[in-house]
Amino acid sequence: MNNSAVVNPVPSDAVVVDGVSMVFNEGQQNQVEALGSIDLVIRPGDFVSLIGPSGCGKSTLLRLIANLLDPTAGSVLVNGKSASQARVEQDYGMAFQQSGLFEWRNVQKNIELPLELKGWSKARRRERSAEMLELVKLSDFAAHMPWQLSGGMQQRVAIARALAAHPPLLLMDEPFGALDEMTREHMQAELLRICAAAETTVVFVTHSIPEAVYLSNRVVVMSPRPGRITEIIDVDLGDDRDEDSREDDEFYARITDVREALRGADRVAGARGIEDR
Amino acid sequence: MIRRGLRRAALFIVALALVAVTWELYVAFGPEDGGEVLGMRILPRASERAMPHTWEMGQRLFDPEVRGQDRPIWLAVTGYAWYTFRMALVGFLLGCTFGIALAVLMSRFRVVERGLLPYVVASQTVPLIALAPQVAALGGNWDLPKWTWVAALGAFLAFFPVSVATLKGLSSTSAASLELMDSYAASWWTTLTKLRFPAAMPYIIPGMKLGATAAVIGVIVSEVSTGVRGVGFASLTYAQKATSDPAQVYTAVFGAALLGLAMFGLVVGFELLVMRNRPAEGSS
Ligand SMILES: Nc1ncnc2c1ncn2[C@@H]1O[C@H](COP(=O)(O)OP(=O)(O)OP(=O)(O)O)[C@@H](O)[C@H]1O
Ligand SMILES: [Mg+2]
């Protein structure tokens, strides 16, 4: 366990968030101070989870890294570039709670969307989408329409789409939130396998403590109003975590750590919104 | 699919038969010189002159337009309707192009929407009957055949529903999808063609259905006041002979109805093509 002290950032870092704060509707009556002075360094290959009570600014932080929002103060670097540069060069893929597939495109065409926008040739797109379909084990469903798939399958397509261009960074906002427990655990294992294969850095927003601990090598605990990082908890389940890791002592110990850190954060704000599943 | 088609065709025939039966019942039992409801004369006269029997109308289809000709009237009417259909189709396509372009422009620039929308709405309250001869006269100066102006007036009525529907559709793209396109740093044009436009299709198509019908109405009305000889003009000339040949005018009415159905069917065909891979309505 270490506190949120800034580890000296180096140019090769995947994400450097430096003194970022975010105020919505500044100067107006409905002004919201969503994030207050966030420092966070994410190394290549890290799997970092953001956890905290509802409204503490997890999605906002993710959007700032994605350059879908501009910070009120501070700066964000992705792969040593400014966040906007990284967005233009499509250095990251994104996946949300809702799969957000285009209903008029079949599974394969959905996965190829980012490649199409990059101007890849048809042959090259076909090759890559076939590879991605294999990865998420949906090769038999290439020609299906999204609405013909189950929720978990749709989510896998969305992940395949996010990873199609082999981005070095994957940003995910509660991607498994809508899934049942069984599918969810299965998807977690799949995600670990996929990201290990592609050596992808992941920033993962979740409400579930076991999910955060199982997936991450670092869990970032946040508290609301304004959103801050209260604690960063290292998890050492090894690189080859599997279903058995869920029985591990380390797993339980870190769950307890995260829960206590969250209680601390909760006491500050009196907010709720964390599930124990 | 085929079964559904058959069922629809059967329903259509049943509906047609019901209309015919209602008509005959009214002719048989309705008031001979019309009737009043709440002091207003709105019930039609049930006399044979005003409301000929359905079988007489049917028979009339096979008699010539004017005594002495060989050509049965249904052929003549089909000819008129086909002419009108072509004008309405040109008008409809023109109206769709213009309506969609206008909607794209309005969704792109809020200023344009604010400035233009009142005029777009006002344009639809201009009395077309009064406008048509002026427009046609104007057309004379430009040396274009008269039918192009009739088609243009059809477009004038067709663009409105298409434009309003498209505008609504373009602005109802989900925020998450827009954010996704943003995350790819996609340009405005790319976002329009890959996301906004396909996502707007379920809105645009009902607008096109209204537009197709509006184009037909626009063309028929304009024919009357410009003297272009389509089915609208034919109904007018037939109506003038209504005292001596009451069934004749209804043959033109059939022609016009058939033409309206054909236009509508065209859009339905387009819908089946575009929406064939979309989830069925109601589920999602
Ligand atoms: N576009 C916006 N305009 C105004 N306020 C916003 C906007 N987006 C977020 N906020 C505010 O910022 C705060 C943080 O929101 P955010 O969505 O980041 O929370 P979160 O941690 O993701 O919550 P949840 O766990 O419920 O998803 C909230 O108080 C929210 O009201
Ligand atoms: Mg959120």
Q: Is A87 on the interface with B (CB under 8 A)?
A: yes
Number of the ligand closest to the Cα of A31: 1
Same domain membership, residue B148 and residue B13: no
Distance A173 CA to ligand 2 centre (A): 7
**Contact with chain B for residue A142, Cβ under 8 A:** no
pLDDT tens-digit map of B111-157: 777 778 888 888 777 777 677 777 767 666 677 677 778 888 888 88
Closest residue in chain A to residue B185, using alpha carbons only: A88
- Chain A residues 96-125 with a CB less than 8 Å from chain B: 96, 98, 100, 102-104, 106, 113-114, 116-117
| Residue of minimum CA distance from atom 31 in ligand 1 | A55
Helix (H, G, I), strand (E, B) or coil at B47: coil
pLDDT band for position A202 (cuts 50, 70, 90): very high
Among all ligands shown, which has an atom nearest to the Cα of A58? 1
pLDDT at B97: 95
ipTM: 0.82
Q: Does B177 touch chain A (CB under 8 A)?
A: yes
* Interchain CB contact of B182 with A (< 8 Å): yes
Burial class (CB in 10 A: 0-12, 13-18, 19+), A7: middle
Asked which of A203-217, B143-157, B190-204, B264-278 is least confident by mean pLDDT, the reply is B143-157
Instruction: Tell me the pTM.
Output: 0.80
Which residues of chain A does B279 touch, with a Cβ-Cβ cutoff of 8 Å? 103, 145, 147
Q: What is the β-pairing status of strands B40-43 and A73-78?
A: unpaired
User: What pLDDT, on a 0 to 100 scale, did the predictor assign at position A252?
Assistant: 78
Q: What is the pLDDT of residue A129?
A: 93
Q: Would you give the DSSP letter of residue B192?
A: I
pLDDT for residue B207 is more than 90: yes
Question: ∠ CA A77-A81-A87 to the nearest 5 degrees?
Answer: 90
What is the domain partition of chain A in residue ranges? 99-166
Residue predicted with more confidence, B168 or B51: B168
pLDDT of residue B99: 93
Q: Average pLDDT, whole number, for chain B?
A: 82
Of A90 and B266, the structure prediction assigns the larger pLDDT to B266
* CA A204/CA A50 separation, integer angstroms: 6
* B176 CB within 8 Å of a chain A CB: yes
Same domain for B128 and B261, yes or no, is yes
By the 8 A CB rule, do A169 and A201 touch?
A: yes
Q: Are residues B108 and B231 in the same domain?
A: yes
Q: Ligand 1 — pocket residues by CB below 6 A?
A: A 24-25, 32, 34, 54-60
Q: Please tell me whether residues B34 and B99 are part of one structural domain.
A: no
Same domain, B47 and B105: no
* pLDDT above 60 for B106: yes
Q: Does B8 touch chain A (CB under 8 A)?
A: no
Per-residue pLDDT at B41: 67
Highest-pLDDT range among A170-179, B202-211, B213-222: B202-211
CATH number at residue B203: 1.10.3720.10
| B43 and B157 housed in the same domain | no
**Confidence bin at A9 (pLDDT 50/70/90):** low
Q: What band does A255 get if pLDDT is binned at 50, 70 and 90?
A: confident
Tokens 């427009």: give the residue: B135
CB atoms within 10 A of CB B106: 23
* Together in a domain, B124 and B29: no
Residue B34: the pLDDT is 66
| From A52-61, A129-138, A219-228, B70-79, the region with the lowest mean pLDDT | B70-79
Query: What DSSP letter does each residue of B50-96 carry, written as one string?
Result: TS--HHHHHHHTTSBSSTT-SSBHHHHHHHHHHHHHHHHHHHHHHHH
B83 and B203 co-located in one domain: yes
Tell whether the model's pLDDT for residue B232 goes beyond 70: yes
B73 with B118, same domain: the answer is: yes
pLDDT in tens, A89-121: 888 889 887 778 999 999 999 999 999 998 899
- Let me know whether B64 and B120 are in one domain: yes
Which atom of ligand 1 is least distant from the CA of A52? 21
Core vs surface per residue A188-203: b (16+ CB within 10 A) or e: bbbbbebbeeeebbbb
Within 8 A of B179 by CB-CB distance, chain A residues are 68, 94
Q: Which of A203, A192, A188 is nearest to A59 (CA)?
A: A203
The mean pLDDT of A42-62, rounded to a whole number, is 89
pLDDT (0 to 100) of residue A4: 44
Across the interface, whether the CB atoms of A96 and B184 are under 8 A apart is answered no
Distance of CA A246 to the CA centre of its chain: 21
**What ranges make up the beta strands (E) of chain B?**
35-37, 40-43
Answer with the residue of higher pLDDT: B114 or B194.
Answer: B194
Using the Cβ of A197 and the Cβ atoms of chain B, whether some distance falls under 8 Å is answered with no
pLDDT at B60: 73
Find the range with the poorest average confidence among A48-57, A164-173, B146-155, B259-268. Answer: B146-155
pLDDT at B240 over 70: yes
Domain of B86, in residue numbers: 60-282
Q: What is the DSSP letter of A49?
A: E
Looking at residue A188, its pLDDT comes to 86
What pLDDT score does A124 carry?
Answer: 92
Residue A274, pLDDT score = 52
Of B276, B258, B265, the closest CA to residue B78 belongs to B258
Ligand 1 center to A65 CA (angstroms): 15
- Ligand 1 atom 17 nearest Cα: A59
- Residue having the nearest C-alpha atom to atom 30 of ligand 1: A55
Region A222-236: mean pLDDT is 83
CA-based R_g, chain A, Å:
19
pLDDT of residue B125: 77
Cα four-point dihedral sign B219, B222, B223, B226: negative
pLDDT of residue A5: 45
User: Does residue B93 have a pLDDT over 90?
Assistant: yes
How many domains would you assign to chain B? 2
Same domain? For B155 and B246 the reply is yes
Question: Minimal CA–CA distance to A53: which of A209, A251, A247?
Answer: A209
Chain A residues in contact with B199 (beta carbon < 8 A): 102, 104
Same domain, B34 and B122: no
- Closest approach atom of ligand 1 to CA A207: 25
Distance CA(B29)–CA(B27), nearest Å, equals 6
Q: Is the pLDDT of residue B5 over 90?
A: no
Return the percentage of chain B with pLDDT > 90, whole number: 21
What are the chain A neighbours of B278 within 8 Å (beta carbons)?
103-104, 145, 147
